[in-house]
């Protein structure tokens, strides 16, 4: 389990994926490639993503849960897929805000 908080950064332990939390709070079982994610810079990559959890992450994409309570952004891409508890996190729709500066 890790503590979700806007700005918190985590890394996968089975692929190169790294994420930053855009939205989320509280203890969550955040996994990548089926293995628990750890605070960025504190782990190393060992093994590979589990079957069924290897669809990969894409750089700069936002991933969220169905309820909309979690949003994380991939700052480094990798081979594993993201999940919170038993729920796979899916790519959230792109923002359509017009450029303002």
| Stretch 53-72 residues interacting with another protein (CB under 8 A) | 59-61
Q: How far is the CB of 75 from another protein (least distance, A)?
A: 6
Surface-to-core class of residue 41, CB atoms within 10 Å of its CB (0-12 exposed, 13-18 middle, 19+ buried): exposed
Q: Judged by CB under 8 A, how many residues of this single chain contact another protein? A: 20
Nearer to another protein, 53 or 62 (CB): 62
Q: How many helices (H) and strands (E) would you count in the chain?
A: 0, 12
**Cα angle vertex 87, ends 46, 13, to 5°?**
10
Instruction: Tell me whether residue 67 or residue 95 sits nearer to another protein (CB atom).
Output: 95
Q: Which one, 22 or 50, has the nearer CB to another protein?
A: 22
Spell out the alpha helix ranges (H) of 4-69.
none
**Which residues, other chains included, contact 91 with Cβ-Cβ below 8 Å and sequence gap of 6+?**
58, 61, 62, 63
Token pair of 21, please? 């939390």
Toward another protein, which CB reaches closer, 53 or 79? 79
Using the rule CB under 8 A, is 98 a contact of another protein?
yes
Which residues sit at the interface with another protein, rule CB under 8 A?
A: 6-7, 9, 20, 22, 40-41, 59-61, 73, 75-76, 94-95, 97-101
């Amino acid at each position: 389990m890790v503590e979700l908080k806007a700005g918190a950064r985590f890394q996968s332990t089975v692929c190169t994926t790294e994420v930053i939390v855009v939205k989320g709070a509280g203890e969550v079982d955040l996994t990548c490639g089926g293995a628990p994610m750890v605070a960025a810079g504190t782990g190393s990559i060992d093994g590979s993503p589990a079957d069924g959890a290897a669809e990969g992450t894409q750089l700069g994409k936002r991933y969220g849960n169905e309820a909309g309570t979690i949003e994380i952004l991939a700052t480094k891409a990798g081979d594993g897929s993201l999940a919170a508890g038993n729920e796979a996190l899916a790519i959230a729709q792109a923002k359509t805000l017009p450029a303002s500066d």
